[in-house]
Amino acid sequence: MSPLSSPTLSTLPGKLRNRLPTQMRRTIPVYLVCVTLFILVFRAQVLPAPQHQSSLLKRQAPQKHLGGAEEASQPTDFPKKIWQSWKVDPLNFEKRDFDTARTWTTKNPGHRYEVLTDHNDVVYVEEKFGPQGFNRPDIVEFYRTVNATIIKADLLRYMIMYAEGGVYADIDVEALKPVDRFIPARYNAADIDMVIGVEIDQPEFRDHSILGPKSMSFCQWTFMCRPRLPVMLQLVENIMSWLSDIAAKQNVAVSEVALDFDEVIGGTGPSAFTAAVLKEMNKHVGSGAKITWDAFHAIDESTVVSRVLVLDVEKFAAGQGHSDSGNHNARGALVKHHYHASNWPSKHPRFSHPAYGEVEHCNWDPVCVKQWDDDVAAWKALSQTEQNKILEAREQEHNFGLDLGGKEHEKAQALERLTEAVRRQEEEARKLAEGGGVPLADGNDPGQAAPHAFPAEPLSPPLQLPPAPAPAPEPRGLFLPGPFPQQPEPLVFPAAQF
């Protein structure tokens, strides 16, 4: 072998090194780096990266914001859904309920309309809050346990609004305007998560022992919201805690709890609804500031606070006879509450004084309420004998009212008979005139009877109305309650107020 020749290498790498040009050997590391970077970029952009379970749960959890939706890309429009609940499905509605419910579909043809009934409400709750939904078995079990229909009504409306969003309306609420009118044109729907209206605005009674807790409240027989609002779920949890505490105090099961009217209003109804909304509003204001009912007292137009649009009382609660609510013929009225589905107070009675009845009969009239308060205060200072005399006088008033009512009924019946008799007389005269029984004038002589005329039968004399009874003298010093509209039971379920 020549001493100038290259030495023979026995290893493979050595052979390759001898066969590859020197420049190519120098660029191999660069090639390897480029290939590695390409693979890393490809995996990052094409292949999904594994996610930890806790990060998924965190993404799915609803945001703790009154107007916060689950996703960052919250749609600007509210869900086009209208929800009601009743004993039966719409195919079995009575005409009264059917006519009222139809106003919602007629005025909102682009909205989905659904009614939950006594037969499918539990199925709905299990679907939305069971393992395949929000996985809240405590809520499902609690709903199954509750027997009080008004409590289930309120629970269900809050659960529907949390799960689905849209518009909720009691079965006896008539739509006067389309849902699109709920948000005035000057507002951007994307900046609003909930639409509610004032119901009772009588803050002058805030210190009244009975009326105070319910003297300032938002309406919950009609409202609109986006799904997954924390305030809706908070209401459900508040009710669960509140009712469980009452059951413990009464030493009974939740299904056997006895509640009066004010407990229902404060625990699940408008007062509870209002307290929860105000609390949620205050979570999103600056330190030191506090939102109270004063921000909504006597408002003449709507206002947005913490992404909640609060409408003036005329919008959802017109025609109440208090709170300066106007009437349903007003241009701004959006719905009309008929109160015909309202028998729940019969199962949860208000406080009724033995002599002066319920202060709610005053319907927030200041003079009437003061008279009731004065009478009740004076009652406490009376002897048993004096109290018995007042009770006897009240009993006489009651009996006289029944007797007067009976006579008024008789008078109405007599008037109805008289009207019918006059109608028959006019009908008989018309038929006889057309058929020749009443002398018809010959063409040239209007006063001459037609030769074929039959003698007209004598008309029956008009009925005489009985004289109206003289009005009874008004007893002095006694409270006479005035009329008060019955309140609604939004939903009715087996064993959704002022």
Chain segment 185-196, per-residue pLDDT in tens? 999 999 999 999
Instruction: Answer yes or no: is 28 within a domain.
Output: no
Residues 181 and 284 in one domain: yes
Residues 128 and 230 in one domain: yes
Burial per residue of 387-419, b for 16 or more beta-carbon CB atoms within 10 angstroms, e otherwise: eeebeeebeeeeeeeeeeeeeeeeeeeeeeeee
Does position 456 have pLDDT exceeding 70, yes or no? no
In this prediction, residue 418 carries a pLDDT of: 78
Chain segment 156-167, per-residue pLDDT in tens? 999 999 999 999
CA distance 274 to 67: 16
Which CATH number goes with the domain that contains 132? Answer: 3.90.550
In this prediction, residue 15 carries a pLDDT of: 52
In this prediction, residue 135 carries a pLDDT of: 98
CA distance 389 to 385: 6
Instruction: Answer yes or no: is 495 within a domain.
Output: no
Residues 182 and 279 in one domain: yes
123-to-79, 117, 127, 128, 364 alpha-carbon distances in Å = 22, 10, 6, 9, 41
Residues 159 and 295 in one domain: yes
Residues 269 and 317 in one domain: yes
Instruction: Answer yes or no: is 456 within a domain.
Output: no
Residues 379 and 338 in one domain: no
In this prediction, residue 263 carries a pLDDT of: 96
Instruction: Answer yes or no: is 47 within a domain.
Output: no
Does position 445 have pLDDT exceeding 90, yes or no? no
Does position 29 have pLDDT exceeding 50, yes or no? yes
Instruction: Answer yes or no: is 211 within a domain.
Output: yes
The pLDDT mean for the chain works out to: 81
Residues 323 and 369 in one domain: no
Which residues lie below 8 Å from residue 57, measured CB to CB, with a gap of 6+? none
Residues 210 and 116 in one domain: yes
In this prediction, residue 398 carries a pLDDT of: 80
Chain segment 62-116, per-residue pLDDT in tens? 434 444 444 334 557 899 999 999 999 999 999 999 999 999 999 999 999 999 9
Q: With pLDDT > 90 as the criterion, what percentage of the chain qualifies?
A: 60
- Final residue of a domain: which of 313, 346, 379? 346
Residues 169 and 252 in one domain: yes
Chain segment 377-395, per-residue pLDDT in tens? 999 999 999 999 999 998 8
Split into its structural domains, the chain has a count of 2
pLDDT confidence bin for 39, thresholds 50/70/90:
confident
Instruction: Answer yes or no: is 35 within a domain.
Output: no
Residues 224 and 145 in one domain: yes
Instruction: Answer yes or no: is 233 within a domain.
Output: yes
Residues 265 and 176 in one domain: yes
Is the C-alpha dihedral spanning 342, 312, 334, 364 positive or negative?
Answer: positive
Chain segment 202-220, per-residue pLDDT in tens? 999 999 999 999 999 999 9
Residues 292 and 175 in one domain: yes
For residue 308, the enclosing domain spans: 81-346
